[in-house]
Structure 1
């Protein structure tokens, strides 16, 4: 009787823990002996793409997969990974053996530090993305350098860490939206698999280990907004880069708050300090101090170039430390020599509405034909006293002039969630001209919202992933190619 109870108790522990029968709960188990593929099974498709080399698992060549002989539900997996330049791989979880093709069961956790795909099919999903479910677009790992990836799954909750920095998370709903053919792209239980992607890709793995976890007793983590989860997943599946490049640490918002909100909402963020005369960052020294402060955070690092004086305050080398640079035309000097800051009613002069608009459009043309920036933000915003006449003052001809200078200088156009600008007419005009787009909040409080206006314009203007801005490689950064002009004319 006691023996029977003991046996039933053991079975209960194994079922509740979701562990494989040969893996003690809570203890790390090595998955690779450094010499052979013992414990693993190659797919029948292109098995030569998987090999052991100098104590490492090597995934290089035509598409193939290597499956671990195990079964896990709640677990923690860890591996050291090194990707060569422009390489692409993945770690599949809760999957099962397949002879060929991409594994249809479970999730792929992306390994991609610098691979950009092709012009027609760009690959923006970077290392630690939950592929097609919760993509991230900033790489925290470098090519040709070993980094550690850790994946933790408890019931319906997934977390991914890179070098012990939490980069991504996902709470799976009870009945998640999935595309046709992707019905099994979800959590259940299963094994681990590694991927060889294509002939130009080489990725190494070593020190692979796994630990079964006791789980949450079957209790699922709550999803607060199923509609939002569906919307984000549909965008991710389409390869649409859901990035808010225009976030400030203002109104009590901390970097930690921003990262937590990003991972909860599925929106990637670019954090930008205000850089210019009388702003927090005013020279190279304060710029480098800021970069040191945010270094290593799972966010893009943007620079908001303020006023026209910014070009005299920073060196090109310092500016190039940022992932991207943006500016607006909300600070300019009019034809009477008056410095307008059009978000401050006391510091804007509108003697004649049409002349004001002529000055503003001319200044936009001067700024974006001369300043080495990537994005025009807060676009077409007018002083408060004129915003009610926005549609009349922003004539088609004026919009065409702005679109022309952006297209000629490869400047992206922000769709701004706060000001709800520009309008659909200008977005469609810019799309036809080949201008790229970004989404931006420009928050002044802790509330970052969910890019409502941006997503509305995405649908109304039928924007595609290829219409969206992409961070430039260092070799193509405008500030290193153009340098900084001595002054802005016009």
Structure 2
């Protein structure tokens, strides 16, 4: 009995000192004036302070821990991150004197912080850090937004301004990296993070609601997929499909649900050009209003060569990125080819067609202000059986050169399964960035199978991957629109 007495006293004192929150009722856990009920980490405590009714996190790494213990709960806070700031809310964690908290999950707060060349940071606000990352920030810098985190048994949901941006159902015994064995759900407290001297983040109106026990949820994906995605997330690999269309009945709600089920982020793009749904500035702005507020990137598919005459640079710059292909062009006989439609493509001579196509690709990507070459190297149906023979090394080199010279990314396309590994390796050596794209025609988006195959076969790294540019670096803002169409 004496051997049990001392540990029982410690357990009693620890439990008695914790703040209790009634189940089902919102309770404020920051009084706006003091840090009563909270405890600073031992390292750099000066990085955490109370200022004008807010908790301010600014300075060298430090953490502020709440004195409580929760399993199922909803946590809510109003947050404002200054420009290029990084912070986070830890859940199911425990007090540490120093270092990054090793227990529980960090829910990332980062709207624009990009890290460094050596340690780039793409995980944005709402990420379940290193496990299910979000790459599109729904909140902006220098403005208050609300983050709500809900945990019920093995399910974590994250909301930004009442829009669900992340959901993760944790399987039994999930894969975790060395040192990350405790990065999982259990029970614990909350912590707020001061990340670095260049980051300043404010928290206010912090409250929590304890939730009752419930039955664990069954994951919708198998353990193999969960492990594959988590390994990519931990490596910092941006798992984003930038080439999605709202076609075949696919809605933004479907897209969000698919993203949260699979862990794949998405970029949705309308077809913009002659005879397409978006054909001028007015229809472009109308479309952008429709998709505003969705937790997805907003891309533009620039269709045909006429698109450069249909939109203003200011309207084009509304998109996060612009992509195009070389599947629509006018040949030397004045015939408008759309090579995915057998009735609208003319192949008088195979080799001449290929030479003309490469010439068109060079013209398009040396003059049009786009970010990504999509549907790359796709040929008319009648030529696809000879794809490997027609795409000679010399032709591939010419395409790679024009992309490298103009800073344009190369899509690895899941639908067409192009380009092949030889060209991807050639492009990687030339320093070209890559994007993943499905170019769906139905609601079935797949799981980027070909893209992930090429990732492994060609040994792509996170630094090889495309990332949308800031406004000042967008091609349309740098080079403008050409005076005439490129063919």
* Structure-1-length-normalised TM-score: 0.95
Task: Provide the aligned length of Structure 1 versus Structure 2.
Answer: 471
1:489 is displaced (CA, Å) by: 4.2
1:120 is displaced (CA, Å) by: 2.6
Candidates 189, 198, 201, aligned match of 1:200: 198
1:488 is displaced (CA, Å) by: 3.3
State how 1:219-368 maps to structure 2 within 5 Å. 219-368=216-365
Candidates 68, 78, 81, aligned match of 1:80: 78
Where does residue 400 of structure 2 map in the other structure? Answer: 403
1:226 is displaced (CA, Å) by: 1.2
CA distance in 2: counterparts of 1:468 and 1:30, whole angstroms:
42
Where does residue 102 of structure 2 map in the other structure? Answer: 104
Candidates 188, 191, 216, aligned match of 1:190: 188
1:26 is displaced (CA, Å) by: 0.4
CA distance in 2: counterparts of 1:284 and 1:223, whole angstroms:
41
State how 1:150-165 maps to structure 2 within 5 Å. 150-165=148-163
1:215 is displaced (CA, Å) by: 3.0
1:337 is displaced (CA, Å) by: 1.2
Candidates 87, 90, 112, aligned match of 1:89: 87
Q: Given the alignment of the two structures, is residue 443 of structure 1 paired with residue 440 of structure 2, yes or no?
A: yes
Q: CA RMSD in A?
A: 1.1
Question: Structure 1, residues 225-254: CA drift from partner, whole Å, max 9, x if none?
Answer: 111111000000000000000000001111
Where does residue 116 of structure 2 map in the other structure? Answer: 118
- SS, match of residue 78 in structure 2: strand
CA distance in 2: counterparts of 1:45 and 1:221, whole angstroms:
40
1:440 is displaced (CA, Å) by: 0.1
Question: Structure 1, residues 120-169: CA drift from partner, whole Å, max 9, x if none?
Answer: 32100000000000001011111110100000000000000001111111
Where does residue 418 of structure 1 map in the other structure? Answer: 415
Please, which moves more after superposition, 414-423 or 46-55?
A: 46-55
Question: Structure 1, residues 40-91: CA drift from partner, whole Å, max 9, x if none?
Answer: 0000011111111111101000000000000000000000000011000000
CA distance in 2: counterparts of 1:118 and 1:347, whole angstroms:
48
1:21 is displaced (CA, Å) by: 6.9
Q: Which sections of structure 1, spanning at least 5 residues, go unmatched?
A: 1-19
Answer yes or no: is the 8 Å Cα contact 1:129–1:168 preserved in 2: yes
- SS, match of residue 385 in structure 1: coil
CA distance in 2: counterparts of 1:164 and 1:255, whole angstroms:
16
Answer yes or no: is the 8 Å Cα contact 1:113–1:142 preserved in 2: yes
* Structure-2-length-normalised TM-score: 0.96
Q: Which sections of structure 2, spanning at least 5 residues, go unmatched?
A: 1-17
CA distance in 2: counterparts of 1:360 and 1:452, whole angstroms:
28
- SS, match of residue 243 in structure 2: strand
